[in-house]
Structure 1
Amino acid sequence: MLSLHRHLADIKGMDDFDEESVLAKIHLVEGDILMLSGSLVDGSGTPSSDFDFCVIARSEDERFHRDTFPRESHMRYYTSGDRVKASFDYLPDSLLGVDVEYWTAEAISQMIAAHRSLYRHMAGRARKSSGFAPSVVDFRLMSRLTYGVALTNSSDFQRITSDLVPGEIAYTAFRTAVGSYPDFRDLIGMWVQDDYESALVAARKLGVDTFRGLTHVYGNTNRNPKYLARFLYRLPASLSELSTRFRQLNSYGVAGPEEAPEAILAWLDLIDAAFAEIRRVRDDVDAFVDREHFLELLKSELHQTMSWNAEISNEYCFRAREAEDGLPSLRELLAAMEKRDEAKHALPLHQWAAGQATPAGENNKSV
């Protein structure tokens, strides 16, 4: 009989369960790879979490079709057309559930290849990449493949996932997370209007995105923000004070509206501190674009035909802090933009643009 207990993290308050009852909901056949993953394995789970299984079949069979899927009385299932993608059920007398995804070995291999292509694309750009072709790459599954346990046919699982690079998944997660200039610019507009409530919401979003990025620098492949506080506990002890400040502000907020302006500034300080740590460690992470290369990517976006103004200068002042020390703080950048002025920095933007000939507006790229 397959054993689950030894692969599960110690989850406070978790109900006991019968392994046979769990396995009966999977519809496993000989030759399948059965992977166990999810929050009950990575330690971020709760007593109401699900067992997250992935069945990787050699090829499609009757389980993959709506009319022939072996349903049980209370089971729900997710389909894409005729194709059954997953099933969902609960364990009796427990908060625990059982989720099973159905894949083929070929589909997993194709997704890993698609992600490697996406990683190469993201490693060649400096902008935040929120439009990351989710129809091609299932980031949730990719993350689970980095730590999932193959309960059956482990040698086949190792062969199929041999091209999987967890650091590359962490970098694509980072590139889709770390705070963006448009979000900061929105925050400034709200601040100028004295709409501190909206500005505080924007500051919190920018902070959460940036701290998610910080966890990805340290190897976290999970993009789900609901577990962010738990992932922060896994950062090195040297960052405990910074993580505590973040959790306090993010989880418990402010006592009243009068404290909102100072809370916004506190968020900006936290974001600056997170960027400083990102700068400190990223060069030592193999899959991450190092600081020098990142600045070259920023440089490649500039071109002679830009109409130079304070706004462009401030944008690059914000974005370069991912890789450049000594830039004005976000408080200083806010103050400059509030005055419609340029924050003073030493970025050689005009020198970077010298000789670049791409017309303005052409894919933000120079040649």
Structure 2
Amino acid sequence: MKASLVLASVFTALVNTVSADGVEGTAEGFASEVTGGGTATPVYPTTTDELVSYLGDSEARVIILQQEFDFTGTEGSLTEEGCAPWGTGDACQLAINQNGWCDNYQSSATKVSVTYDAAATIGITVGSNKSIVGKGTSGVIRGKGLRIVGAENVIVQNIEITELNPSLVWGGDAITLDSSDLVWIDHVTTSLIGRQHIVLGTDADNRVTISNNKIDGTTSWSPNCDSYAYWGLYFGGSSDKITLKNNYIFHTSGRSPKVTGTTLLHAVNNYFSDINGHAFEIDSSTQVLAEGNLFESVDTLVDGQEGALFVPDSDGSACSDSLGRSCEANGYTSSGTWSGTDSSFLSGFSGYTIASAEAYSSVSGLVSTAGNSL
């Protein structure tokens, strides 16, 4: 009798351990209502085929990654004519001629042969009502990104995506969103990415929260032929509403982020460090509130500032009516200062959950806590 009770206790403990695997915390800001796979029983893929199947099917799922999934070589390699837009030096990125990019945008570029891993160029399809969660630091996807297109209610948390043809423009995007809603990207590390680390396409993505991520721009190839990746974060949607909070974005040279389309962006408490070029790029029709961020060793805070921009100084009271609180000033170390006084668009935050803000001095700790560190 005692032995059976012990076995029952062990079984209960195992069940509780398994059921505890899943998303930690809740999203702040625009995607605060996201639930992902909800209370679905966790599944544990062990092969790349299983991972692709779980992510792309029509079931609500909590998908736990407790190993590395290596897609390099799984779809073969391709060799074709590309181009060398910035030279043929060892540190210069070459380019795949995707959609005629070399022939049109870079028509004067030297034509060269390029060889690349096919798997990285198109991400894994992610369906609606999914939570993709890594355990510890073991949830790694190598050689392929995630593609969230025409989906809703998706959580991506505590994983690493790496090694997507980093020597080649158009080599692959780590996370792609387009025509999607309620997406939370949290505690994700991206590194060695050929194109964008996170890209929101031209169709509306509605409510998105990007938080606690580590965007590592360190590379051996770049348009500047140095170790700083140019392609960082590209927010190009129609009427996208994006909360960008508590991210550590470092060693890039541009697009960190580029904001275009008709995006409404709340950039709060991010740590921009060692940027050998520009951090923000803000096109017309966009609306950006940047508060409580720390800029450290950033050469150029913004390259092009055509949209509406509010960057609060020591007096952030202009936010009170729309956000229900004052805004936090940004901090600058070896980075100059930034100004933007157009607060007219802040009324666009009305009716949405607004992310909280802390003093910029609190964000330097993101060096150790951002990315797949849960």
**TM-score, normalization by structure 2:** 0.26
Q: Which has the larger radius of gyration?
A: 1
Tell me the TM-score normalized by structure 1: 0.26
Structure showing the higher strand proportion among its residues = 2
